[in-house]
Structure 1
Amino acid sequence: MYVEFLSLTDFRSYSQLDVELGPGVTVFVGPNGLGKTNIVEAIGYLASMSSHRVSADVPLIRFGAERALVRARIRRGSQSTAVEMEINAAKSNRARINRANPVRARDALGIFRTVLFAPEDLALVKGDPSNRRRFLDDLLVALRPRHAATRSDYERVLKQRNALLKSARASGKFTEGHQATLDVWNQHMAVAGAQLLRARLDLIDQLQPHIARAYNDLTDGSKLAGAKYKSTIQTALADDGAAEEELSETAQDLYPLSVEQLTEMYLAAFDAQRRKELERGVSLVGPHRDEIELTLGEAPAKGYASHGETWSVALSLRLASYYVFLADDDAAGAAPILILDDVFAELDVQRRARLAELVATTEQVLVTAAVAEDVPAALDGRRIKVVAGGVSDGD
């Protein structure tokens, strides 16, 4: 699949930008600060409803404007689909598909897929667990858009449960009313948490061989890269002496467990951690506190990997995402669009060459670079010069 046409209105630095695109490699070249990343960020946002640079939508709207519009025409085989996203500062975002009536933004998920590499990806390895959780959940939603609801349902329940715990802590005593309400939220959160955890475990299982493959392709293959999911269910129950007896060998391995079994484990973990949660006024157990530990050989990548190895692990996660998409849908024209945002400037010559070789044959590759010479020869293609307020074709 590929983007045929992109139009931006009041998005980031652009009051208006229209650009024709096509299959193969397109490189946006220009000095930093002129808006190269804004262009590919808009494409990534349209595919995923999230930005790789900011967590909120307001910075995406040009200063002084009330809304931003991102429009694109997506080609998949012989089919062309027009997608429009209206990003609002003060109300919910809206989408249009093939110029039909507006729908919820998340109804546009799944029309096309992107895999985006960026300097920010180092945080996937070096940053705190929230970066790795977001990576996993974003990929989950891109693969199965219905999980956008799974994710938002869990976040809504978590917010309500945290508000109750905070209120109980502030009152100085835990009443029967608090207990009754907490029991209700425990049940809701156990169900929502189990659904999200089950989906994450399945995705980690899919990613594992692809992470190893991608790291091997990017390096000399002397180390094996992988990922381990660490759930707060296990630590919560293991910390509680009475509850520890409930942990059978089967239960300690969460991968085979059903949503119903995980729900029961969450309820037991909430009971085990009740005192601590009331003391702190916050939920201590759940997918929002889980960790995805990236490994290199026998050691965690975080804190043990060199700078070059860290980059290779981060790139491996993105390449693994690409391979998962290919495995999920191998039809002609279904390959995701690859976006490499200013990533070559961060890599040594060897990693540049290997990454370029691995991605060069996909249907559409969009690259940004401040210096054209940073882009490997394997990604030779159309050059678009980014100038103040717009673009022009050029060498």
Structure 2
Amino acid sequence: MHVAHLSLTDFRSYASVELGLEPGVTAFVGPNGQGKTNLVEALGYVATQSSHRVATDTPLVRRGASRAIVRCAVHRDDRRALIELEINPGRASRARLNRSPVSRPRDVIGLLRTVLFAPEDLALAKGDPSERRRFLDDLLVARTPRFAGVRADYDRVLKQRSALLRTAAQARRGARSARRAESDSGFAAAGAGDVTSTLEVWDAHLARHGAELLQARLELVDALRPLAAAAYAGLAPASEPASLAYRSTLSTGVDVAEDEIPGERGSSETQTLSTDLGKTLEERLRERLLEVRAAELERGVTLIGPHRDDLILGIGDMPARGYASHGESWSFALALRLAAYDLLRAEGGDPVLILDDVFAELDSQRRRRLAEIVAPAEQVLITAAVPDDVPAELAGARFDVAEGRVTRVR
């Protein structure tokens, strides 16, 4: 798989740009702040319909413009696809495939598959659980595009259920602060039943979508585990072995903070959840939601579900987060991306590899090792501040990026 052409209109800093691309290595070189990352970010957006830099679409549209358009031609074996995304902040985005509209933008997910390495990847090892959950879910969608719908359904139900819990918690706090015993009793007798009845409906929806997402994550972690361990060993041969484990709220207490570092690190706590006690994941989720209902009504948040799970990274007997050195953390982050690349490649051809200003962050050993690993890929796109940041093993085509212009170096 490779991108043959990229066209941008009012995307980030570009009013308009047209780029012809080829298989092999292509480097975009120029000083920081000139728009190199904007180019590869656009391709990442086509692949995932999200940005690795910002949480919303608004910053993707050039200042003064009302919309942005990203168009790319993708070649995969003997197939060709022209993908166009129209980004409309505050309104629904639109998509076209081979110049024909599609009903939903997510219907074009999977036509372009990318694996992106970026300085932000350090958060995979050092950041909050949300960073690792996003890594897993983005990879799920890349492998099986229908999980974009599963994730969207889960997020929608979670939002509705959490809004109901917040309303109930606020009502309870208001009743207590008023210190009126009769009003408090009235809420408990009249309002609580209504809330409980409605929660049972949302519990069923959350358990159904959450079980599907959780099962897919567990299977994905099982597939990634040997690949990540091997990639880490190659990047940091002197380090202790790396390990992956999935930590689920189905097997932990409800008082776990988002940034807590769990104490057990040796194995996946949820590898057998789907068969434990003969119950399905959906049944387990519904049971756990019932167990914590009082705490949820008190705190006004949904405490159980994949949105509070974590991917635990271990080095030897210790968690990477909080204990790994800077070099070890970088190696683990790179190992996760390399594992994702190996998994996607084994299941259907090389994804496009994007290395966004990562070589400047690495020491010479890790730089050389990463370059050797990615060099055989069908297409590698690199951004770098200076030509010397591009390893010799990745010599290829080059574009200079400066003052809003992208120029091919002959």
TM-score range, shorter chain: over 0.9
Structure 1 match to 2:150: 150
Instruction: Check conservation: 1:215, 1:221, Cα contact below 8 A.
Output: no
Structure 2 match to 1:167: 167
1:343 paired residue among 358, 362, 380: 358
Instruction: Check conservation: 1:5, 1:21, Cα contact below 8 A.
Output: yes
Deviation at 1:103, TM superposition (A): 3.2
Give the Cα–Cα distance (whole angstroms) in 2 for the partners of residues 327 and 357 of structure 1: 19
2:240 paired residue among 223, 231, 248: 223
Deviating more after overlay: 367-376 vs 174-183: 174-183
Structure 2 match to 1:235: 252
2:209 paired residue among 180, 192, 214: 192
SS in 2 for 1:275: helix
Deviation at 1:39, TM superposition (A): 0.2
**Judging changes above 3 Å, is the alpha-carbon distance between structure 1 residues 146 and 273 closer, same or farther for their aligned structure 2 residues?**
same
Give the Cα–Cα distance (whole angstroms) in 2 for the partners of residues 13 and 255 of structure 1: 49
SS in 1 for 2:251: helix
Instruction: Check conservation: 1:236, 1:269, Cα contact below 8 A.
Output: no
Matched, 1:18 2:21: no
Give the Cα–Cα distance (whole angstroms) in 2 for the partners of residues 374 and 60 of structure 1: 27
**Judging changes above 3 Å, is the alpha-carbon distance between structure 1 residues 131 and 237 closer, same or farther for their aligned structure 2 residues?**
closer
SS in 2 for 1:305: coil
Deviating more after overlay: 162-171 vs 217-226: 217-226
Aligned length: 380
Matched, 1:374 2:389: yes
SS in 1 for 2:17: strand
Instruction: Check conservation: 2:254, 2:304, Cα contact below 8 A.
Output: no
Give the Cα–Cα distance (whole angstroms) in 2 for the partners of residues 238 and 64 of structure 1: 46
- Percent identity over the alignment is 55
Instruction: Check conservation: 1:237, 1:272, Cα contact below 8 A.
Output: no
Matched, 1:114 2:129: no
Which consecutive unaligned segments of at least 5 residues does structure 2 have?
A: 173-186, 257-268
Give the Cα–Cα distance (whole angstroms) in 1 for the partners of residues 237 and 164 of structure 2: 52
Instruction: Check conservation: 2:24, 2:379, Cα contact below 8 A.
Output: yes
SS in 2 for 1:139: helix
1:382-393 alignment, distance < 5 Å: 382-393=397-408
Instruction: Check conservation: 1:28, 1:368, Cα contact below 8 A.
Output: yes
Give the Cα–Cα distance (whole angstroms) in 1 for the partners of residues 286 and 84 of structure 2: 42
Structure 2 match to 1:3: 3
Structure 2 match to 1:294: 313
Encode CA deviations 1:282-314: one digit per residue, 9 max, x unaligned: 111111111111111111001111110110000
1:230-269 alignment, distance < 5 Å: 230-236=247-253, 253-255=270-272, 257=274, 261-269=280-288
Matched, 1:36 2:36: yes
Instruction: Check conservation: 1:73, 1:82, Cα contact below 8 A.
Output: yes
Give the Cα–Cα distance (whole angstroms) in 2 for the partners of residues 352 and 237 of structure 1: 42
**Judging changes above 3 Å, is the alpha-carbon distance between structure 1 residues 255 and 64 closer, same or farther for their aligned structure 2 residues?**
farther
Give the Cα–Cα distance (whole angstroms) in 1 for the partners of residues 315 and 42 of structure 2: 33
Give the Cα–Cα distance (whole angstroms) in 2 for the partners of residues 253 and 9 of structure 1: 46
TM-score calculated relative to the size of structure 1: 0.93
Structure 1 match to 2:261: none
Report the residue type matching 1:73 in the other structure. Answer: A
Deviation at 1:260, TM superposition (A): 6.6
Instruction: Check conservation: 2:24, 2:380, Cα contact below 8 A.
Output: yes
Quote the RMSD (CA, aligned, Å). Answer: 1.8
Encode CA deviations 1:237-282: one digit per residue, 9 max, x unaligned: 899xxxxxxxxxxxx7444616971111111111211111111011
Instruction: Check conservation: 1:232, 1:287, Cα contact below 8 A.
Output: yes
Deviation at 1:394, TM superposition (A): 2.2
Encode CA deviations 1:124-159: one digit per residue, 9 max, x unaligned: 110110000001101111111100111011111111
Instruction: Check conservation: 1:236, 1:272, Cα contact below 8 A.
Output: no
Deviating more after overlay: 64-73 vs 257-266: 257-266
Structure 2 match to 1:308: 327
Deviating more after overlay: 254-263 vs 79-88: 254-263
Deviating more after overlay: 192-201 vs 213-222: 213-222
Give the Cα–Cα distance (whole angstroms) in 1 for the partners of residues 153 and 203 of structure 2: 14
Give the Cα–Cα distance (whole angstroms) in 1 for the partners of residues 25 and 255 of structure 2: 52
Structure 2 match to 1:249: none
Report the residue type matching 2:354 in the other structure. Answer: I
SS in 1 for 2:252: helix
Matched, 1:326 2:345: yes
1:272 paired residue among 267, 279, 291: 291
SS in 2 for 1:295: strand
Structure 1 match to 2:302: 283
Encode CA deviations 1:20-61: one digit per residue, 9 max, x unaligned: 100010000000000000000001111111111011111101
Report the residue type matching 1:321 in the other structure. Answer: A
Encode CA deviations 1:179-229: one digit per residue, 9 max, x unaligned: 111111111111111111111111111110110111112121542112110
Structure 2 match to 1:128: 128
Deviation at 1:102, TM superposition (A): 4.0
Runs of 4+ residues over 3 Å off in structure 1: 236-239, 252-256
Deviating more after overlay: 214-223 vs 105-114: 214-223
Report the residue type matching 2:105 in the other structure. Answer: A
